[in-house]
A and B are shown apart, each in its own frame.
Chain A
């Protein structure tokens, strides 16, 4: 009798587990429930911003701490004829356009960017998938570019346009001005002492060290200062936010 009861209990537990999974999948497809889950992003953003002094630096490492190989992920080569042509001449014709809510919109060649003051930092790159790699990045602090172009008061976000597409959609990312002016936010053109490899985003890659890897846009061609992210892509602020449910704030 006891055994039968136990068997029944185990059986109903298995059915319960199956029901739980079906239930979770149904909840996962429910937009209202997704909104509830996504509220954690707001909490993470508010708490993580409140915990530091807002300009707190990410850990920096020694040259002996470098990963033996720096893994490349996402697009490893934009593969367009224009990109290939530019790569063939060492990106001498690469242009970075700063448009939108700037008092003085700018256009920089790679050489012009390299002639500005530079910052070199050895930081840990944390991918949303779970792996990490430590690399040495050299580039121009974004703050210098923002000061030259003069961000208008109405601007709230910086949108990074990229030369690569995934599944026919152009990659893009966005950050707020606080991260834009952060001392470790740079447009990097060198990795581990050499010109940035194509697989890692040549010739220009955003480093926004306090967030996960997908925020670090590669193959950057333009920076738009905008008041709102609506109207860009699907309005969620980035490629992965638009195509899947990745969070705009990627501090965790």
Chain B
């Protein structure tokens, strides 16, 4: 068999991609849930360098014994039951921002939440760095993720959007290479949101402020970096939800199996 066609026969997802996918999924889940524990210590977000209880928060979760609410700017929505006022597993009313089922550990401990967060931050960052290096080396980025010039055409993006509205088309697309919207989503996550999480995380560190002051300045101050950290995490949750819906619509068992065993490639790598 000539070498060319053997390359085409390779699995749909490379081993590095599969390993990183699952390690990264675990890291992001732990980072999100331990991050919500840390957020619960001070459920207010600010813009600028400083921000504490007496300063104006652009977003805040409010708590009382009878209700919870979320305030964004001047808008207030009552969130009793899941934000600011909720029942724990023993039926007691708790007034932390995020409920126990969404946090690690499930009963509030800022110190433990930080331990989980900072350990998995290392695993996540090293994993992302190794995945990026390996995927440049094996040309996964260049071959499968890099946008071709013709793909940028609005008509092409619109067409890709239209196929996302038809379940039959989504099912068919599972056999093909990444479509343009898929590519844009993965590029956005891998090259923008995930690095942004690391940079904004580091920008909140007082020691990094001494070592690399430009990092905090880049985001317009420590509290701005904290806000961006939270917003980027929110966007990652949105990506995760759409990702899961797409997996369900395009054949959940086959797609999940392919991300474990590698699956069979039809078009990727061409």
Using a CB–CB cutoff of 8 Å, the interface residues on chain A facing chain B are 6, 9, 17-18, 20-21, 24-25, 28, 34, 36-41, 43-44, 48, 51-52, 56-59, 61, 65, 67-69, 71, 124, 126-134, 209-212, 240, 244-247, 250-252
A37 to B122, CA, bound (A): 10
A38→B114 CA distance, assembly (Å): 10
Asked whether A37 lies within 8 Å of B205 as measured between CB atoms, the reply is no
Contact assessment for A38 and B115 in the assembled complex, using a CB-CB cutoff below 8 Å:
yes
What are 27 of the A-B contact pairs (CB < 8 Å)? A24-B104, A24-B106, A24-B116, A37-B115, A37-B116, A37-B119, A48-B205, A48-B208, A51-B212, A52-B210, A58-B210, A61-B49, A67-B50, A67-B54, A69-B52, A124-B49, A124-B50, A126-B206, A126-B209, A129-B41, A130-B226, A133-B50, A209-B206, A210-B207, A244-B111, A245-B112, A247-B111
The reply to whether B206 and A25 contact each other, CB–CB distance below 8 Å, is no
Are the CB atoms of B54 and A68 closer together than 8 Å?
A: yes
Q: How many residues of B are counted as interface, with CB atoms below 8 angstroms from the partner's CB atoms?
A: 49
> What is the predominant secondary structure among interface residues of chain B facing chain A?
helix
In the complex, are the beta carbons of B211 and A52 less than 8 A apart?
yes
In the assembled complex, the CB of A66 is this many whole angstroms from the nearest CB of chain B, namely: 9
Residue among B38, B116, B209 with the highest chain A CB neighbour number at 10 A: B209
Given A34, A68, A124, which contacts B222 in the complex, CB threshold below 8 Å? A124
8 shortest interchain CB distances as A-B pairs: A251-B207, A252-B205, A130-B42, A129-B41, A245-B111, A71-B52, A131-B52, A52-B211
Asked if A240 and B111 sit within 8 Å, CB to CB, the answer is yes
Residues of A within 8 A of B119 (CB): 36-40
Given A40-B115, A48-B205, does the pair A133, B122 have CB atoms closer than 8 Å?
no
Chain A residues, Cβ within 8 Å of B121: 40
Contact (Cβ within 8 A) B41 A130: yes
**Are A132 and B101 in contact, with the CB atoms below 8 A?**
no
Given A24-B106, A69-B52, A240-B111, 19 additional A-B pairs, CB 8 A = A21-B100, A40-B115, A40-B118, A40-B119, A44-B207, A58-B206, A59-B209, A61-B49, A67-B52, A71-B52, A124-B209, A126-B209, A129-B110, A130-B39, A130-B226, A244-B109, A245-B111, A246-B114, A252-B206
Residues on B with beta carbons closer than 8 Å to the beta carbon of A131: 42, 44, 51-53, 223
**What residues of A have a CB within 8 angstroms of the CB of B223 in the complex?**
131-132
Return A125 CB to nearest CB of chain B, in Å: 8
Known contacts A25-B106, A132-B222; is-contact A252 B208 (Cβ 8 Å)? yes
Distance in angstroms between the alpha carbons of A58 and B101 in the assembled complex: 38
Nearest chain B residue, comparing its CB with the CB of A131: B52
Chain B 75-112: CB-based contact to A (< 8 A → 1; otherwise 0): 00000000000000000000000001100111101111
Which of B55, B100, B115 is close to A34, meaning CB atoms less than 8 Å apart? B115
B105 contacts A28, C-beta separation under 8 Å: yes
* Chain A min CB distance to B158 (Å): 30
Q: State the CA gap A65–B55 with chains docked (Å).
A: 13
Is the beta-carbon distance between A211 and B42 smaller than 8 angstroms? no
Tell me whether B220 is interfacial, beta carbon within 8 Å.
Answer: no
Bound complex: CA of A68 vs CA of B119, how far in Å? 35
Asked whether, in the complex, the Cβ of A251 is within 8 Å of the Cβ of B205, the reply is yes
Please name all residues of chain A whose beta carbon is closer than 8 Å to the beta carbon of B54 when the two chains form the complex.
Answer: 67-69, 71
Chain B residues, Cβ within 8 Å of A52: 207, 210-211
Contacts of B207 in A (CB 8 A): 44, 48, 52, 210-211, 251-252
* A61 nearest in chain B by CB position: B49
Given contacts A124-B49, A245-B109, contact A41 B118 (CB under 8 A): yes
Q: Smallest Cβ distance from A148 to chain B, in angstroms? A: 26
The smallest C-beta distance from B223 to any residue of chain A, in angstroms, reads 6
Question: Is B114 within 8 A of A127, CB to CB?
Answer: no
Q: Counting chain B CB atoms within 10 Å of each CB, which of A24, A48, A130, A132 scores highest?
A: A130
Query: Would you call B210 and A57 a contact (CB within 8 A)?
Result: yes
Task: Tell whether B67 is near chain A: CB-to-CB under 8 Å.
Answer: no
Task: Give A35 to B50 CA distance when docked, in angstroms.
Answer: 33
